[in-house]
């Protein structure tokens, strides 16, 4: 897997910057999610998730995170949120659902947090 970039990013709590390290680590995973731009590919994934993950060469960590719908796990495994959103789209999940899953809040509480940001 990729070496540390020469220019390390600032440590921002709760944040993974999608840089060269993440892009290398997550390449297969993001490539699979990129394929979900096509309805035919989305249907093929739903028909046989395991086979579809295998076809794209996902590693064990990525396959487990896909299977468990573990968004934080997918990010740790190199997933980029724009590509992960295409995966989430298969199940009709919005970015607010993703936000709730990542923060451990209910969707209602997460939406309230966003409304509260206006204050």
Partner 1 sequence: MAKILGAVTTSHVPAIGNAIAKGLQDDPYWKPFFKGWEGVHQWLAQTKPDVAVVVYNDHGLQFFLDKLPTFAVGAAPEYRNADEGWGLPTLPPYRGNTDLSWHMIESLVADEFDITTCQEMVVDHAFTLPLKLMWPALDACPVATVPVAVNTVQHPLPTPTRCYKFGRALGRAIASYPEDLKVVLLGTGGLSHQLDGPRAGFINKAFDALCMEKLVGDPEALTRYSIDDLVEQAGTQGVEVINWLIARAALGGTVREVHRNYHIPISNTASGIMVLANAA
What is the pattern of x (binds partner 1, CB under 8 A) and - over residues 34-53?
x-xxxx--x-----------
Q: Judged by CB under 8 A, which of 43, 95, 106, 108 binds partner 1?
A: 95
Quick one: DSSP state of residue 3?
A: P
Among the residue ranges 46-54, 58-66, 82-90, the one whose residues contact partner 1 (CB under 8 A): 82-90
Are 80 and 20 in contact by the 8 Å Cβ rule? The answer is no
Distance CA 119, CA 101 (A): 24
DSSP codes of every residue in 99-111: HHHHHT--HHHHH
The residues binding partner 1 (CB under 8 A) are 7, 9-10, 12-20, 23, 27, 30-31, 33-34, 36-39, 42, 72, 75, 80-86, 88-90, 92, 94-96, 98-99, 102-103, 110, 113-115, 117-118
């Amino acid at each position: 897997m990729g070496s540390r970039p020469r220019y390390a990013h600032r440590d921002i709590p709760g944040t993974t910057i999608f840089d060269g390290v993440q892009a290398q680590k997550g390449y297969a995973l993001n490539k699979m999610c990129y394929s979900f731009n096509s309805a035919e590919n989305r249907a093929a994934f739903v028909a046989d998730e395991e086979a579809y993950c295998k076809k794209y060469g996902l590693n064990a960590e990525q396959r487990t995170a896909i299977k468990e719908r573990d968004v934080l796990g997918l990010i740790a495994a190199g997933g980029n949120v724009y590509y992960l959103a295409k995966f989430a789209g298969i199940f009709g999940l919005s970015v607010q659902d993703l936000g709730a899953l990542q923060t451990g809040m209910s969707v209602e509480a997460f939406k309230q947090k966003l409304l509260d940001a206006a204050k």
